[in-house]
Amino acid sequence: MLNYTKKDSAERSALVVNPAKTCQPIGAMYAALGIHNCLPHSHGSQGCCSYHRMHLTRHYRDPIMSSTSSFTEGACVFGGKSNLKKGLENIFNIYNPDIVAVNSTCLSETIGDDMGEIIKDTMPSLPEGKIVIHANTPSYTGSHITGFSNMTKAMVTYLANAKAETKNETINVIPGFVEPSDMKEIKRILDLLGVKYIMFPDTSNVVNAPMTGRYQMYPDGGTPVKKIKKSGDSQITLALGEFSSKDGAYELEKKCNVPSKVIKLPIGVKATDNFIMSVLEYTGAEVPKELEIERGQLVDLMVDIHNHYHGKKAAIFGDPDTVIALTEMVISLGMIPVHVLTGTPGKAFDNKVNKILSEAGIENSNVQNAGDLMALHQWIKNSPVDILIGNTYGKYIARAENIPLVRVGFPILDRVGHSYFPTVGYQGAIRLIEKISTAFLDQYDRECAEEDFELVM
């Protein structure tokens, strides 16, 4: 399909070809699913909501529930106030969630609907004790990561309170836009460290809920509203990933005076070490034996397979927080990130990646935020790599250039299992190493000479 992409690139200031991102409401919807008994609501046309649900459903292989204001021509001209007001009344009467998280779309943002005022005007007609929050998520700015960040910030704006005079021992953790399996792994590590924590949002056991034979519209997972309300009394907020988690942490600091610390997603040995030490900084606890063993196993594996990785060139693309952490990880394996790209805008991405590369003594790599996959493909044509790491959309480049693809990030539409196996923590790093090593060796087995086709590598 992309065999005819040319090596020579031209300046494209107003044209995106094969975007390396998707739109804000998808991220907002995913974040909303991380609240227990929450129904996401898309304030716009039915087609927008259908696309967002479909994209999440295809990635997680689980039915994604969401409602919509179902704009028609009249709402497009006169505004969607009546649609949202009536929609919220119907939602609580028919589907009975504890909370509804409303996100805007291009259409409602262009019209200029004031969702905050509409919700305020609607609340008296809703059942007692029910909650509605909202986030502005126009698709024509940012990306799904921006939408996730905006909805997480809305959780703090609407729900978090500081009731205690002194802060307690609890730690808030905002996990970023990661798989439900990653959120589960983060919680497992926190449990091993013996700390009290509140993690929000939390999509584990929601978008990867078990098959029980009985339909459950609101699965057992998700962070309860009462826990998010208590987050204002915690001693610290750890934001995992600047692009997806920072805004929520800073809002909590401003609103409830809870200090915040922004660190990388714990992908790879170095970032996981930093995450664990950041937690212990506020607890005074010691690293348990189980985590020491996992770290030792990871380091042992890194030594065992260093000959597969050393000097190999990599191209990495996807969500900014994930890509930043992956760049650091592949360097620790002896690889060279030659091309690093995200579709999400933000100069902080370039600065962070370039700093990681500079500290490793790596020069002349291509690094770009707000980029697209056509630019990435042209980079690879001009400076070939040994492996491509990113989401499903990289398969076309991988096929055209005959390079192995390791699927990491969102979305993964043509493989299964990613919602059950983590990439964060020491266990996640072990899995990533296995995936990368397998990709290299599978290609070697396919292409090597007959006399080099060995049983043991």
Q: What number of CA atoms fall less than 13 Å from residue 235's CA on the CB side? A: 13
For the stretch 110-144, pLDDT in tens is 889 999 999 999 999 999 999 999 999 999 999 99
What length is written for the chain?
457
d(CA 445, CA 48): 44
Question: Could you give the percent of the chain with pLDDT greater than 70?
Answer: 100
- Among 175, 167, 164, which residue's Cα sits nearest to residue 198? 175
Helix axes 269-280, 425-447, angle to 10 degrees: 180
- pLDDT bucket at 424, cuts 50 / 70 / 90: very high
**What pLDDT sits at residue 379?**
97
d(CA 222, CA 175): 13
**What pLDDT sits at residue 382?**
96
Side chain identity, residue 204: S
- pLDDT bucket at 77, cuts 50 / 70 / 90: confident
CA distances 127 to 72, 100, 154, 218, Å, are 27, 12, 21, 18
Cβ-contact 272, 424 below 8 angstroms: yes
- Among 353, 338, 446, 442, which residue's Cα sits nearest to residue 389? 338
Cβ-contact 179, 418 below 8 angstroms: yes
**What pLDDT sits at residue 7?**
87
CATH topology of domain 171-288: Rossmann fold (3.40.50)
What stretches of 121-248 adopt beta strand conformation (E)?
131-135, 171-174, 197-199, 236-240
- Name, in order, each residue with C-beta under 8 angstroms of 280's C-beta and a sequence gap of 6 or more: 193, 286, 287
pLDDT greater than 70 at residue 174: yes
Taking only Cα atoms into account, the Rg of the chain, rounded to an integer number of angstroms, comes to 23
For the stretch 180-204, pLDDT in tens is 999 999 999 999 999 999 999 999 9
Question: Could you give the percent of the chain with pLDDT greater than 90?
Answer: 87
**Among all chains, which residue has been given the structure tokens 């034996």?**
289
- Name, in order, each residue with C-beta under 8 angstroms of 370's C-beta and a sequence gap of 6 or more: 342, 343, 344, 345, 346
CATH class of 293-451: alpha beta
How large is the average pLDDT for residues 142-167? 95
- Among 342, 434, 430, which residue's Cα sits nearest to residue 391? 342
Q: Are strands 99-104 and 131-135 parallel, antiparallel or unpaired?
A: parallel
Q: What number of CA atoms fall less than 13 Å from residue 16's CA on the CB side? A: 14
pLDDT greater than 80 at residue 75: no
CA 390 to chain CA centroid, Å, is 13
- pLDDT bucket at 10, cuts 50 / 70 / 90: confident
pLDDT greater than 80 at residue 2: no
For the stretch 197-239, pLDDT in tens is 999 999 999 999 999 999 899 999 999 999 999 999 999 999 9
d(CA 3, CA 202): 41
Neighbouring C-beta atoms of residue 79, cutoff 10 Å: 17
pLDDT greater than 80 at residue 74: no
d(CA 278, CA 173): 11
Local structure of residue 247 (DSSP, 8 states)? H
How large is the average pLDDT for residues 160-171? 90
pLDDT greater than 80 at residue 375: yes
Q: What number of CA atoms fall less than 13 Å from residue 73's CA on the CB side? A: 0
How large is the average pLDDT for residues 350-366? 97
pLDDT greater than 90 at residue 372: yes
Where do you find CATH 3.40.50.1980 in the chain? 24-159, 171-288, 293-451
Burial of 293 (0-12, 13-18, 19+ CB in 10 A): exposed
pLDDT greater than 90 at residue 54: yes
Helix (H) or strand (E) holding 341: strand 336-342
Side chain identity, residue 144: H
CATH topology of domain 24-159: Rossmann fold (3.40.50)
Tokens of 47: 């087609």
Cβ-contact 343, 20 below 8 angstroms: yes
For the stretch 138-153, pLDDT in tens is 999 999 999 999 999 9
**What pLDDT sits at residue 170?**
96
Helix (H) or strand (E) holding 243: helix 242-256
Backbone CA torsion sign across 48, 52, 58, 61 = negative
**What pLDDT sits at residue 1?**
52
**Among all chains, which residue has been given the structure tokens 């714990």?**
266
How large is the average pLDDT for residues 168-179? 97
Cβ-contact 392, 413 below 8 angstroms: yes
First vs last Cα of the chain: how many Å apart?
33
- Give me the sheet containing 131-135, strands edge to edge: 67-68, 38-43, 99-104, 131-135
Q: What is the mean pLDDT of the chain?
A: 95
For the stretch 284-342, pLDDT in tens is 888 999 999 999 999 999 999 888 899 999 999 999 999 999 999 999 999 999 999 99
For the stretch 387-397, pLDDT in tens is 999 999 999 99
